[in-house]
Structures are given as C-alpha cells and as structure tokens.
Amino acid sequence: MLSTVDSPTQRAFGRADVEAAVATCFPGRAVRSAVPLTGGSFGTVWRVGLAGDQDDLVLKVGPDPAARLLRYEAGMLAAEAEYLRLAAGAPGVPTPRLLAERPDYLFMSLIPGVPMPDLPSDTDTRAVRFDSGAAIARLHGVRGPFFGYAGPRARGGTWPEAFRAMVEAVLDDAVDWDVTLPVAPDAIRSAVAASHDVLAEVTEPVLVHFDLWDGNVLAISDDAGVRLGGLVDGERYLFGDPCIDFASPALFRDIFDDPDDPFVAGYRSVRPLSTTPSLRRRTWLSQLYLYLVMLVEMPSRGLDRHGEHARRWALLADLVTDLLARIDPLAATKPRG
C-alpha cells in the first residue's frame, strides 16, 4: 500500500519502504503496524509501531531529490532533526525526541494528542493556546549563532540583513514559479527597507518555530479537560525575531488585536512582552513574509490559484496588500508592473 501523495513534494513511500527503514535504524525489530498520516503538504509521514513496544514512532520522509522546492525548503529534513536537538535543550517545550536520522528520513517519538483542527468544533481550546504560548516563550530562551536559516539558505549577521535575504529569496521563488504577486516586488522591498530601524531592535537570534498553525499543535482531551500535548513540525525553524512566532498561531488575523489572546497570555506568563508599536510592526512584517511564502508555494504544492483554490489565493492576496499598506503606506502605492 502506498501512502497518499497530496502534493508534488511528498514522496511515495509504501509499507515495504517503511519496513526497510525500520530494518536500517532498528535492526532486528519487526513492524507491527504502519499507518500513513495526513494533514501536512511537504513531507510524507507514517505512524509506525514496532513489535514488543507499546509506544508508536513517527517516520518522516523527505521529498524526492528531484522535487522542485522553494529556496528556504532546501535541506528541511535535516533541519527538523536539528530543531529536535535544539528544542530538547529547552525545558518545558513538549516536542518529539529524535530517535534515528538518515539522509532521506528520520524517526521521532510520537507526541500524544490530536491536531487542534481535529477537536470537536465546540471545544474550548484556550488552555491549549495558553500552554503553547508558554512553551514558545521557553523555546525562545534558546539562542542561535546567527540570524536566519541554517544551511545554504537565507541568513545574515544582523536581523535586518537576514530578514531582507529571506524576503528576497521568496521573491526570487515567485519569479522561478511564475507567480504574479498581488503587490509590486519593489513595494515589498521598499517596506522592508523602511523598517530597517525597527528590525534592528532585534539584537539576539532566538530559536523560533515559525509554523505554529493549529495543525501543528497537538491537544490531549480527557476527564481532566483539554490541554497541550505537544508542538510538532519544527522543520521550518530559524534564528531571529520572536515576533515570527506570533504570525502563524493567529493565521489571517493580528494576534495583538485581541488583548485577551490566550497564546499571548501564556507567553507573558513566562517572558515579558509589551505590545509596543515596534512589536506590532515587526509582527506585521512577520505576517507579510509568512503570507508571501504561502502564496508562492501554491504551485509547488499543486494548488491552482484559478481553480478550486482561488479563494485561498484571494484571501492571502488581500492580506498581503493590507499588511503592506499598514507597514509602509507609501510603498503600497507603487505600481505592480
């Protein structure tokens, strides 16, 4: 049986491949169960049980070497392994343990819980969001040796340099994938340049998860209530501005518009955080980068902006346009052509 391949980056990986991977990493162990997991759009993931063990493992498989990727996606499987090692040094951050690593795949422990979108629609998730905010504040206690991404990807000696390089990389990806952005690329460059002094307020590169949408937050629901199980999919980690991690937990909205947001409250329970104009502008810049990535990655995921995914494109396009106007009203007036 082959796992379902949802996007061009997801490698077909069947039960025989799972058994071969187990034989390589856990010699002499038999596979008692293997179930493909869905929900992501980059790698291929299996839940694997080994004979004689009660606890299952997670097997994550990287893209086929021939797959076309965005620039920041280069080497992301190795990046996830490194993230797991880094996060293991942050007490109070519930994250999987790295168990085995090979060039094409890795094994990690299975975190208990289900993704938040899989909870009943009437579930009160405030405690989960509070605890995830507190966990991310602890993760931000890990300092990095540089700003930006690890490996042959965008980075810099300062946060303004790294952020500019990250934005330039996604703008180059837009050209490569023939993605016409809803705003002029030079307008985006102007907004980033105009924000140099605000970005320069970030002087320490902290470990940020970057991909904290609800699907990567696992919740445990039992008689004691609903609580955080763990945070997964740290493959997009980088070192930089803590504001990066206030973008994805509040997809399609500004998290600081709600003074009682539980994620922010949880963060503040661990680490001081003042909602200053500078913080908000840096968060808008983080959102701008995230939404640009989400737009530009659509063709690499097989998503047609003119077909069934037109609403997704329109929503992201409006968000990018509105954010640019917030960050730099003058840049927003630049013509797209």
Residue 53: CB atoms within 10 A of its CB come to: 12
Tell whether the model's pLDDT for residue 3 goes beyond 50.
no
Q: Give the C-alpha distances (Å, rounded to integers) separating 135 from 86, 93, 202, 227, 308.
A: 14, 5, 21, 12, 36
Give me the sign of the Cα torsion angle 57, 62, 131, 214.
negative
In whole angstroms, what is the distance from residue 316 CA to residue 292 CA? 8
Q: Tokens for 213?
A: 């949408």
pLDDT tens-digit readout, 270-297: 999 999 999 999 999 999 999 999 999 9
Contact indicator for 229, 118 with CB cutoff of 8 Å: no
Phi/psi for 206 (5° steps) reads: -100, 155
Tell me, letter by letter, the H, E, C secondary structure of 140-199: CCCECCCEECCCCCCEECCHHHHHHHHHHHHHHHHHHCCCCCCCCHHHHHHHHHHCHHHH
Q: Span 112-129, mean pLDDT?
A: 94
In whole angstroms, what is the distance from residue 117 CA to residue 82 CA? 27
Tell whether the model's pLDDT for residue 7 goes beyond 80.
no
Q: Span 133-155, mean pLDDT?
A: 96
All structural domains of the chain, each given as residue ranges with its CATH number in brackets, are 15-109 (3.30.200.20), 114-332 (3.90.1200.10)
Q: What is the mean pLDDT of the chain?
A: 93
pLDDT bucket at 137, cuts 50 / 70 / 90: very high
Give me the sign of the Cα torsion angle 12, 233, 120, 219.
positive
pLDDT at 2: 30
pLDDT at 304: 84
pLDDT bucket at 314, cuts 50 / 70 / 90: very high
More confident residue, 1 or 9: 9
pLDDT at 42: 78
Which residues have C-beta within 8 Å of that of residue 335, sequence separation ≥ 6? 184
Beta-ladder partners of 45: 37, 60
Tell whether the model's pLDDT for residue 306 goes beyond 90.
no
pLDDT bucket at 5, cuts 50 / 70 / 90: very low
Beta-ladder partners of 231: 217
pLDDT at 331: 65
Amino acid, res. 187: A
Q: Tokens for 208?
A: 């940020």
Q: Span 298-309, mean pLDDT?
A: 86
pLDDT tens-digit readout, 35-88: 998 766 677 899 999 998 889 999 999 998 888 999 999 999 999 999 999 999
Cα-trace Rg, the chain: 20
In whole angstroms, what is the distance from residue 223 CA to residue 268 CA? 28
Q: What is the pTM of this model?
A: 0.93
Tell whether the model's pLDDT for residue 191 goes beyond 90.
yes
pLDDT at 332: 58
pLDDT at 39: 64
Which residues have C-beta within 8 Å of that of residue 71, sequence separation ≥ 6? 153, 154, 169, 170, 172, 173
CA 5-180-198 angle, to 5 degrees, is 100
Q: What is the DSSP string of 49-76?
A: EETT-SS-EEEEEPPPTTS---GGGTTH
Q: What percent of the chain has pLDDT over 90?
A: 83
pLDDT at 329: 79
